[in-house]
Structure 1
């Protein structure tokens, strides 16, 4: 079975980015951020979801509030964009779809971005927002950390930092195509280079350099969660596409976390690109995946 015609929207968008970057080798970071703000385009507006701006622990955010959702449950969502790009505004629709499927609310945060704010500014922001949610009365077990790509890294590393700090951990973690490997040693960087329309080793090297800055380490478990210990980690759902170069980040995470005794589910979309749930509302593959996540979540 091939992929749906609708799913090609994401591949075509990513390919257009690759083509525009290749045509403009001197592309500025501001230009790259503008490209990434197109990430909302594949996602159709979810029905029955309203949005609200907020500031939590000094971090600007957008709430996604599905009609009839359990307001005691919340998804803390960290957006993708290689850490350096992306925004709550461009990812609010995906968070809205996820929240609607889970029957929860979601809050998408505008964490500080490198190179202006290198690691660990991002994890400081995400953990501060988590603690603010606790202070607002949410129970740890009713919080889910979730994110995609670089934000998938943050959804995981936030929990690792909370554990380090002795803070009660969330009930679950959901990571879409997480980018975890800061050493860039994964085999699928080469084997899937021809099928991934956007993510390349050269791009990741540039992004990780900005993320880590002068002081960050490529093997720090909070920057590279493939180096972390997953003993006592919350139940974890990992998603990836079989066509993407970061596929083995997801596969390695599953292996490492399972070896530590964690409850892990890995779902790989056949023929799909990086963060294919961005196609929510448009392509059947994304909507089917969100339904599977909801079954997993509610089946605790």
Structure 2
């Protein structure tokens, strides 16, 4: 086996060691526990903050430029995930980019269905502006559901006539809440985390009876004209592979400068496992290079 195969085998075994809980509290705790497996380096400063009424958290490393920031929207299918579950990963992304990070603990479904998460993302961006951050020194980023939410946030900012951030990073974006992509079936046997039936359950909770083709929940149907440069990263072993491919196509057709990276053999949200996965570290280094290039 190659080093990558060995690393992925260990991660797959870890993920397979426990069943997904049936109850909502258990699912939320499971994802938080996954993130808690990874320690935060001693030089990372963590500071809770109220970001315009949204629970949030700064992370800063010694080399971070205090005037530059990545605003991060976590994954978890809109029903789970938190600041805690993704803290280690976004802190490392900030280190690679030389920025501060602001992770938002946006409201979750089913208690808070659409548009609560989008409202919180917009409030987080307004909070950064109110704190003196220039739009050209802000990045909006998101993983999985947070990736789709990132695009919805950008489109909403454009529609409101607000200045857009320097760029955006989408990791394994969930961009189609109809789950109509071919890889929902063709990659089902190799994706250890995300399957169609579970995603349908999550979409039902988030949509609360609304049309899954709405552009603000499924941005493959959105008009992306005028958006800033996008970096879209996805693993080839993801059921959401087609979401990323189609999102990149929609963006490119709208004349958005789009960088699409398909990482061979990588699984959903592989950045979370960067401490034990070399390609996770490499992917975050690519994020850092992208951010630096678009802020310079």
Q: TM-score normalized by structure 1?
A: 0.93
| 1:22-66 Cα distance to aligned partner (Å, 9 max, x none) | xx6xx2111111112123156453453111111111111111111
Contact 1:196–1:245 (CA<8 Å) still a contact in 2? yes
| 1:60-112 Cα distance to aligned partner (Å, 9 max, x none) | 11111111210100111011111100110111111100000000000111100
Cross-structure match for 2:143 = 148
Match 2:175 to one of 169, 175, 180: 180
Cross-structure match for 2:193 = 198
Secondary structure (helix, strand or coil) at the match of 2:17 reads helix
Cross-structure match for 1:236 = 230
Cα gap change, 1:38/1:8 in structure 2, threshold over 3 Å: closer, same or farther?
farther
Secondary structure (helix, strand or coil) at the match of 1:281 reads helix
Cross-structure match for 2:293 = 299
Aligned CA RMSD, in angstroms, stands at: 1.6
Contact 1:244–1:273 (CA<8 Å) still a contact in 2? yes
1:246 aligns with 2:240: yes
Return the offset for 1:290: 1.3
**In structure 2, how many angstroms separate the alpha carbons of the residues matched to 1:39 and 1:156?**
26
**In structure 1, how many angstroms separate the alpha carbons of the residues matched to 2:269 and 2:141?**
12
1:10 aligns with 2:4: no
Contact 1:62–1:89 (CA<8 Å) still a contact in 2? no
Cross-structure match for 1:277 = 271
Return the offset for 1:9: 4.1
- Once superposed, which parts of structure 1, at least 4 consecutive aligned residues long, lie more than 4 Å away? 41-44
Return the offset for 1:155: 1.5
Q: 1:27-66 alignment to 2 at 5 Å?
A: 27-41=22-36, 43-46=38-41, 48-66=43-61
Return the offset for 1:136: 0.8
Secondary structure (helix, strand or coil) at the match of 1:124 reads helix
Secondary structure (helix, strand or coil) at the match of 1:108 reads strand
Return the offset for 1:252: 0.6
1:78 aligns with 2:79: no
| 1:135-162 Cα distance to aligned partner (Å, 9 max, x none) | 1100011110011111111111111111
**In structure 2, how many angstroms separate the alpha carbons of the residues matched to 1:42 and 1:7?**
16
Match 1:288 to one of 260, 282, 285: 282
| 1:207-250 Cα distance to aligned partner (Å, 9 max, x none) | 00000013x22111111110011111110001111111001111
**In structure 1, how many angstroms separate the alpha carbons of the residues matched to 2:10 and 2:105?**
26
Return the offset for 1:8: 3.4
Return the offset for 1:4: 4.2
**In structure 1, how many angstroms separate the alpha carbons of the residues matched to 2:38 and 2:259?**
24
Cross-structure match for 1:227 = 221
Secondary structure (helix, strand or coil) at the match of 1:63 reads strand
**In structure 2, how many angstroms separate the alpha carbons of the residues matched to 1:90 and 1:248?**
25
Contact 2:93–2:285 (CA<8 Å) still a contact in 1? no
Contact 1:146–1:173 (CA<8 Å) still a contact in 2? yes
Contact 2:46–2:60 (CA<8 Å) still a contact in 1? yes
Give the number of aligned pairs: 293
